[in-house]
Amino acid sequence: EETINLTVGSSHPTTIPWVGMIPNVFIPEVDRILAEDGRYEVNWTEAYAGQLYGANATLTSVGDGIADIGWVFSYLEGSRMPLSQLSAYTPFTTSDPELILDVFLDLIDQQPELADEWEGNNVVFLGGTASDTYDIYTNFPVNDLSDLDGRRISAPGVLGVWLDPVNATPVDGTLASYYTDIQTGVSEGVVTLATGALPARIYEVAPYITQVNLGVVFSGGIAMNLDRFESLPAVVQDAMKQAGAVYTTAHGRDLAERYQSSLDRMVELSADSNNPVVVTPLSDEQRQAWIDGMPNLAQQWVDNNEARNLPAADILEAYMDAIRERGVQPERAWD
């Protein structure tokens, strides 16, 4: 039995569900497959929670071999992975994380330019991660979209543009800053995820949850350094890919369940406090007004990327078609 030394890293702590699934799902699966084969064994060095690199360098750190395997936060890699940003420029497409993971895995498989955003940066894509659907958390009740008019709402990066139709003012921030930002009044609410709002306790300062259901996004994936991957025997390579697929499936299922359970938990935790959580679904016509008011974000994304000679229009079409093929009618046809 030969021992292979591998270092696993992540910018985020294992308390984040999909990072926790690296030691809880991915690694045991690799170990299980290799134990069955019996020829190889991996000696893991695990360094999560930014011990090896921060959130601003997840792709380069795996590409440089600082970690052999790590979670790549493609969502923050707008420059190196412009095509992977697609789902952030196509809100209201779907609220099903398992669907978007399935579609993106196929796209990475079939679109060489999309695959190149991984291999061109010297990493092998093993499994994908997504978000649950985005909602609005505010410290004031939202009965009508006009209640958001002129309000300062925290939203990271391009999510600020999602607020255009309701005329809210986007304030830049991160999951770590929302709580204090809302508490001190810098912003009055936030566009965020139930799975993020629960651990960050956003509901304590912004107990009015309006289920806008802005859609899920593809956020990145677990990846391995390309040189290290190629240095491994074929059976170990296969084990990595198989474990990556198991990881994707487990993560998608977990996300789908976690959205509702996170909302329930927030209601439960805040029940006895001064600010009990109030969950209100946005009415269909209000939601449709938001969808219709969105600027043509996808076209901006296509234009920016066609200027780089990337076939963005084709990829957008393939993406929307893939969703329709799975029997889901996107609420906004971005193509």
Show the site string, 98-137: x = touches other proteins by CB under 8 A, - = not.
----------------------------------------
Q: Which element (helix H / strand E) includes 63?
A: helix 58-63
Q: Does 220 bind other proteins (CB under 8 A)?
A: no
Q: Whose Cβ is closer to other proteins: residue 4's or residue 245's?
A: 4
User: Which residues, listed in sequence order, are joined to residue 218 by a DSSP beta bridge?
Assistant: 130
Q: Which of 92, 118, 247, 301 binds other proteins (CB under 8 A)?
A: 301
In the complex, minimum distance from the CB of residue 246 to other proteins, in angstroms, rounded to a whole number: 23
Instruction: Note whether 65 and 28 are within 8 A (CB).
Output: no
Question: Which tokens belong to 205?
Answer: 């300062």
Distance CA 291, CA 293 (A): 5
For residue 278, what are the CA distances in angstroms to 51, 138, 207, 270?
38, 10, 6, 10
Q: Please pick, from the candidates 24, 31, 82, 331, the single residue that binds other proteins as defined by CB under 8 A.
A: 82
Paired tokens of 8: 């696993």
- Closest to other proteins by CB, 66 or 278: 66
Element (H, E) at 41: strand 40-47
DSSP state of 208: E
- C-beta of 150 vs 233, nearer to other proteins: 150
Q: Judged by CB, which is closer to other proteins: 110, or 296?
A: 296
Strands laid side by side in the 2-9 sheet: 40-47, 2-9, 69-72, 218-225, 123-130
What x-and-dash track marks residues 167-186 binding other proteins by CB under 8 A? --xxxx--xxx-xxx-xxxx
In whole angstroms, how close is the CB of 228 to other proteins at the nearest point?
Answer: 11
The SS3 of residue 243 is helix
Shortest separation between residue 257's beta carbon and other proteins, angstroms: 18
- Site residues (CB under 8 A) for other proteins? 7, 9, 13-15, 45-54, 56-57, 60-61, 64-66, 78-80, 82, 85, 89, 150, 152, 157-158, 160-161, 169-172, 175-177, 179-181, 183-186, 199-201, 204-205, 297, 300-301, 304, 308
